[in-house]
Structure 1
Amino acid sequence: MPPNGSQARREEILRLATTTGLASVEELSRHFGVTASTIRRDLARLTADGRLARTYGGAMALNAHPEAPLRQRTGEAYAQKRAIARWAAAQVQPGESLLLDAGSTIGALAHELRTAQDLTVATTGLTVLHELADVENVHVECLGGTLRPLSRAFVGPLTEAALERMTFDRVFLSADGVTADGGICEADLRQTRLKELMARRATHVYVLAHAAKLGRAPFHAWTTLSPGWTLVTDSEATGTDVAAFRERGTHVVLADAVAELPAGAPPALPADGAGG
């Protein structure tokens, strides 16, 4: 008998996608004895969580490169992310207005900005909000919208509408992968559209991505790199990778990562109740 609870039903949808290839919304609706709108909500949630990739007409397939949750990614390449964050924070001048994306490296940057003076920081990321919420010398603006639990970031039309009312001195973008010809790769088209809009609102654009992300294209949503943007990576990046970006007009900075473990835990994330 098909499961009744929404979470159990979603898990069964994933199992069916793997085993029998049950594809359409109509088939799933009949199988579970629920409405098509209920199934669409299930599929939307599974897609937002990075566990399912949907195709035209409601067909579905498991994502070949499941998106890792932000909590898992926070501890990866810690020294490299910390070096990138330190370099990025050093570019910021008192009195500037910053736009911070979401992501673990951006969270590390927010941690570095806790000692900054007289900043305005707008962000789409819960991690940034958590890091800067109690800092007296930083004025924080939250760009609300639809929360993506896996990335702990806001996306969608409300986020985009808020951006139209603001401009910034610098924007710092994250990436799941970045290639010289394709640009910034993400799991969700809403993310890449938002990054494009964010870049338009700032004078200086930085992409923060440690060396392991260079040349990677794990998903199929893209933001094009524009000439004049700055890619900040770490010293493990190969000469070939760096040359490919520079040939297309991207400035590349190699931040020296000190081989060290954090003195404490990585910058804390909000509790699970605040987002997935």
Structure 2
Amino acid sequence: MQFTPRQTEIMLAARRDGAASISALAASLGVSLETVRRDIRPLVDDGHLVKMHGAIQLPDHGREAPFDRRMRENAVEKRRIAHHIAASIRDGDSIMLDTGTTTSILARELSARRELTIVTNSSDIARTLATVNGNKVFMAGGELHGDNGAAFGRTAIDFIARFRVRHAIISIGAVDAALGPMDYLLEEAEFARMALQCGERRIIATDHTKFGRAALVKVCGFGDFDLLVSDRAPPGEIAEAIEAAGATWEVAES
């Protein structure tokens, strides 16, 4: 569903605080309790929120776990995806990687490559690939997020916009059949969107659990990337949307 401005504010409040009372939302938005309840009802019906007595909160599947724990979730599938993508990257290639568990695992798969040029906002990826095998790493600056150790904001986006790389590879939080690839945080979505614009070959790496989910922020359309790599084939509607936009998808075999 497309959020109205008030619904967007409600979702941001739930994301920021974990839960929010309906009375507090009404006060902050300057509207009546009944207006807030009307705004919330479709969000609850579509599964974006869970309604409790006098309050709302995000459902468990709408919250991303801390980065270290996400690195362990679906690790086998993510390694398959990373191995599949790494097989198409050659010594001397230039690569842009955003922060994400799948892209961090991909960085480890690339440890055998030599003389790579890497552009990233992820301190984990930078540490993994810097100072080995003659690699050159360019690390974007900006506001540092404590959870994933990545930099965001206008400074980071302006920095990566200067580069043109062979492979631009991003990870995402959700893939909706109507809206396309999505993420949970505005700053992560904005960085990923710019990263795709910097690549000759634009790749989305995502495991199958992201299919059929919607997040808060749209990253790009189905026509804004060249290849989606996952551990399973996308569901019918998503596969059709990818192909209709002129992109392709591949399954990383075990």
Fold shared, TM-score > 0.5 on shorter chain: yes
Q: Which residue of 2 aligns with 1:212?
A: 209
Q: Which residue of 2 aligns with 1:124?
A: 121
> 2: CA distance between counterparts of 1:220 and 1:62?
18
> 2: CA distance between counterparts of 1:81 and 1:121?
20
- Does 1 or 2 have the higher relative contact order (CA < 8 Å, sep 6+)? 1
Deviation per residue, 1:84-121 (Å, 9 max, x gap)? 10111111122211101110000110001111011101
SS at match of 1:22: helix
Q: Is the 1:180–1:248 Cα contact (8 Å) retained in structure 2?
A: no
Q: Which residue of 2 aligns with 1:94?
A: 91
Q: After TM superposition, give the deviation of residue 126 of structure 1 in Å.
A: 2.2
Q: Is the 1:116–1:137 Cα contact (8 Å) retained in structure 2?
A: no
Q: Is the 1:193–1:223 Cα contact (8 Å) retained in structure 2?
A: no
> 1: CA distance between counterparts of 2:74 and 2:153?
29
Distance 1:61 1:239, change over 3 A: closer
> 1: CA distance between counterparts of 2:247 and 2:233?
18
Q: Which residue of 2 aligns with 1:68?
A: 65
> 1: CA distance between counterparts of 2:56 and 2:144?
23
Amino acid at match of 2:118: V
Q: Which residue of 2 aligns with 1:29?
A: none
Amino acid at match of 2:116: L
Amino acid at match of 1:82: R
Q: After TM superposition, give the deviation of residue 133 of structure 1 in Å.
A: 3.0
Q: Which residue of 1 aligns with 2:32?
A: none
Q: After TM superposition, give the deviation of residue 239 of structure 1 in Å.
A: 5.1
- Which of 13, 21, 24 does residue 22 from structure 1 map onto? 24
> 2: CA distance between counterparts of 1:237 and 1:164?
30
The root-mean-square deviation of aligned C-alpha atoms, in Å, is: 2.8
> 2: CA distance between counterparts of 1:227 and 1:201?
11
Q: Is 1:201 aligned to residue 198 of structure 2?
A: yes
> 1: CA distance between counterparts of 2:224 and 2:196?
12
SS at match of 1:223: coil
Amino acid at match of 1:107: S
Q: Is 1:82 aligned to residue 79 of structure 2?
A: yes
Q: Is 1:139 aligned to residue 136 of structure 2?
A: yes
Q: Is the 1:106–1:172 Cα contact (8 Å) retained in structure 2?
A: yes
Q: Which residues of structure 1 form unaligned runs of 5+?
A: 1-12, 26-52, 54-59, 258-276
> 2: CA distance between counterparts of 1:152 and 1:182?
28
Deviation per residue, 1:37-93 (Å, 9 max, x gap)? xxxxxxxxxxxxxxxx9xxxxxx9744422322111111111111111011111112
Q: Which residue of 2 aligns with 1:107?
A: 104
Distance 1:69 1:169, change over 3 A: same
SS at match of 1:171: strand
SS at match of 1:204: strand
What is the TM-score when the length of structure 2 is the normalising length? Answer: 0.74
Shifted more, 210-219 versus 129-138: the winner is: 129-138
Q: After TM superposition, give the deviation of residue 247 of structure 1 in Å.
A: 2.9
Q: Is the 2:77–2:231 Cα contact (8 Å) retained in structure 1?
A: yes
> 2: CA distance between counterparts of 1:187 and 1:14?
14
> 2: CA distance between counterparts of 1:126 and 1:61?
35
Summarize the alignment of residues 143-162 of structure 1 with structure 2, pairs less than 5 Å apart. 143-162=140-159
Q: Which residue of 2 aligns with 1:36?
A: none
SS at match of 2:178: coil
Amino acid at match of 1:173: I
Deviation per residue, 1:128-178 (Å, 9 max, x gap)? 123223423211110111122334321111101112321111111010112
Distance 1:238 1:256, change over 3 A: farther
What is the TM-score when the length of structure 1 is the normalising length? Answer: 0.68
Q: Is the 2:189–2:217 Cα contact (8 Å) retained in structure 1?
A: no
Q: Where do 4+ consecutive residues of structure 1 move more than 6 Å?
A: none
